[in-house]
């Protein structure tokens, strides 16, 4: 493995109507103590995102695809491009996120010293940097991240903590990770693709961690979104996701996944019954059955994922010389 100072890093950003955020995101990469290349896939933005990117002093490779591929498939194109350019690492960065000058340096240093970690996340703060990002803070509670809060209260924080999960707003991922397990699964359009990716990393016996000395900022609303505030169609789309994550988890047998989804359905329905959220109970039941309508697809994908992971190089990234023709055909 190359030492951190000589590692080739590509930053992957997927944009969609990102004019509010993209300058700050790219500005933060200009100041990075580790040189990095940037590839952006734009999901058919209708604002001036592309103009802002083209005017920015940071040199960027932009891939426009003419339609909205979603988060996962957009990032897969970024990853494929980075690997064709012999990237050692890909740093996934949300359009509404930005870093400080030594973020990549700290992540690379820890990665070099801990090869069993396939994914590393910086500590994600809110957009103003005056607190930990609200949703990210839930990933740091025990037992999801043993020792983090206790160590920092007692003033003995470490440079690395193992996590059960961290959202993909800021991930440093080794090239070997993608070659082993592939990219984000297209069965997830938006939400859940990073949970599924982490599950596959764990299936391979590797880890995900947080590096508290590495800092990133996620400029998004700082509260948990209430399901009841969404239109019914979006509620159903959101509630499909947790059932799909469970069913695609290779760390469990298919039978165990089925039982886990039933448990999820019963638990969620009882919680909503306590609040007399009858429409949301119906949505929960519909989401459960929506996912079970995909049973054939899920069983096939689970089989293929196991075969690909256990092979030498994942099929998705075994034929990178055809990458440009794949883009043209989108």
Given a cut of 50, whether residue 247 has pLDDT beyond it is: yes
Q: Which of 2-11, 27-36, 246-255 has the lowest mean pLDDT?
A: 2-11
* Residue extents of the structural domains in the chain: 8-222+314-328, 227-293
pLDDT score of 66: 86
Given a cut of 90, whether residue 22 has pLDDT beyond it is: yes
**Cβ atoms of residues 4 and 33 within 8 Å:** no
Contacts of 133 (CB under 8 A, 6+ apart): 124, 125, 126, 218, 220, 222
pLDDT score of 329: 44
Tokens of residue 62, six digits: 């932009």
CA angle 77/79/85 to nearest 5° reads: 110
pLDDT score of 3: 53
Nearest to 149 by CA among 164, 133, 137, 135: 137
Tokens of residue 213, six digits: 């000395």
Question: Above pLDDT 90, what percent of the chain?
Answer: 81
| pLDDT band at residue 2 under the 50/70/90 scheme | low
Given a cut of 60, whether residue 97 has pLDDT beyond it is: yes
Q: What is the DSSP string of 24-36?
A: HHHHHHHT-SS-E
The chain-wide mean pLDDT, for the chain, equals: 92
**Cβ atoms of residues 210 and 145 within 8 Å:** yes
pLDDT score of 190: 81
| Predicted TM-score (pTM) of this structure | 0.92
pLDDT digits 0-9 by tens, 30-74: 989 999 999 999 999 999 999 999 999 988 999 998 899 999 999
pLDDT score of 12: 98
CA–CA dist 310, 313 (Å, integer):
9
pLDDT score of 52: 96
Contacts of 124 (CB under 8 A, 6+ apart): 97, 132, 133, 136, 166, 167, 169, 170, 216, 217, 218
Superfamily of domain 8-222+314-328: Spore Coat Polysaccharide Biosynthesis Protein SpsA; Chain A (3.90.550.10)
pLDDT score of 325: 43
**Cβ atoms of residues 95 and 14 within 8 Å:** yes
**Cβ atoms of residues 39 and 12 within 8 Å:** yes
Q: Give just the sign of the alpha carbon dihedral 128, 129, 131, 134.
A: positive
Contacts of 247 (CB under 8 A, 6+ apart): 257, 258, 261, 291, 294, 298
């Amino acid at each position: 493995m190359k030492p951190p100072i000589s590692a080739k890093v590509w930053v992957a950003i997927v944009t969609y109507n990102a004019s509010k955020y993209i300058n700050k995101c790219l500005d933060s990469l200009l100041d990075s103590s580790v040189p990095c290349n940037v590839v952006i896939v734009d999901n058919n933005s209708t604002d001036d995102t592309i103009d802002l990117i083209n005017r920015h002093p940071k040199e960027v490779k932009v891939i426009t695809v003419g339609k909205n591929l979603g988060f996962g498939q957009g990032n897969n194109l970024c990853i494929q491009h980075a690997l064709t350019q012999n990237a050692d690492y890909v740093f996934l960065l949300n359009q509404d996120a930005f870093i400080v000058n030594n973020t990549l340096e700290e992540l690379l240093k820890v990665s070099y010293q801990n090869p069993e970690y396939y994914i590393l996340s910086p500590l994600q703060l809110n957009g103003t940097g005056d607190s930990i990002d609200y949703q990210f803070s839930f990933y740091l509670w025990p037992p999801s991240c043993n020792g983090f809060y206790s160590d920092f209260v007692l003033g003995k924080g470490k440079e690395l903590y193992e996590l059960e999960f961290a959202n993909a707003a800021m991930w440093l991922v080794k090239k070997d990770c993608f070659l082993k397990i592939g990219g984000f699964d297209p069965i997830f359009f938006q939400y859940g693709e990073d949970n599924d990716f982490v599950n596959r990393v764990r299936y391979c016996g590797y880890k995900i961690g947080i590096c508290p000395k590495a800092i990133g900022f996620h400029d998004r609303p700082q509260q948990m979104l209430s399901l009841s505030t969404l239109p019914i169609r979006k509620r159903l789309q959101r509630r499909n996701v947790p059932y799909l994550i469970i069913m695609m988890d290779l760390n469990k047998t298919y039978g165990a996944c089925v039982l886990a989804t039933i448990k999820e359905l019963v638990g969620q329905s009882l919680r909503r019954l306590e609040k007399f959220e009858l429409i949301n109970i119906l949505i929960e039941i519909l989401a459960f059955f929506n996912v079970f309508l995909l049973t054939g697809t899920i069983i096939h994908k689970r089989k293929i994922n196991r075969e690909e992971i256990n092979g030498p190089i994942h099929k998705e990234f075994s034929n990178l010389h055809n990458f440009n023709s794949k883009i043209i055909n989108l």
